[in-house]
Amino acid sequence: METAFINSPLGITRIVGDENGIAIISVSDVGTNDVSETIPEVLQDAVFQLNEYFEGKRTDFDLKLNPQGTEFQQKVWRALLEIPYGKTISYMDQTKKMGDVKAIRAVASANGKNPLWIVVPCHRVIGTNGSLTGYAGGLSRKKWLLEHESPSQQQSLF
């Protein structure tokens, strides 16, 4: 597995993957001294697409993904990929779409273990009452991501 660290508006982003796909994209508050000077070839497209996302030029990712998790977690993460850019759903809605409303805690837990920050958009899942709940990257990052993706962002008049 190859690893790269890049700057993002939300902290240092770690990208891990190989020829089988991207396995991990995570964020931390580690200092900027940890940014990779060179990006392994197998991770260059992921870096490019993430940078486009942060620049507001990309709404969908086209990456080969290879997250590691249980069969149930994989199912939950695939369901997250169906949430469109700029939209949110509740944990209950996600659970209903997956066919078992009794699994809400398990679904929320699997969302919290999502290893592919932003690309598998668990940040788009909110509480039934519209509250920002449960985000492994921190609620301030979740808020930033949802505002970044909001179709009603205030535009400059000049």
Indicate which residues carry an active-site annotation: 122
d(CA 118, CA 99): 24
Average pLDDT of the chain, as a whole number: 90
| pLDDT per position as a tens digit, 44-83 | 999 999 999 999 999 999 999 999 999 999 999 999 999 9
Considering the entire predicted model, what is its pTM? 0.88
In this structure, the answer to whether residues 79 and 110 fall within a common structural domain is: yes
Within its chain, how far is the Cα of 84 from the centroid?
A: 12
* 26 lies in some domain: yes
Is 9:54 a contact under the CB 8 Å cutoff? yes
CA distance 27 to 7: 9
User: What are 4-28's pLDDT values in tens digits?
Assistant: 999 999 999 999 999 999 999 999 8
Residues 75 and 135 in one domain: yes
Total structural domains within the chain: 2
CA 52-7-131 angle, to 5 degrees, is: 75
Which residues span the domain enclosing 145? 71-149
Amino acid at 101: V
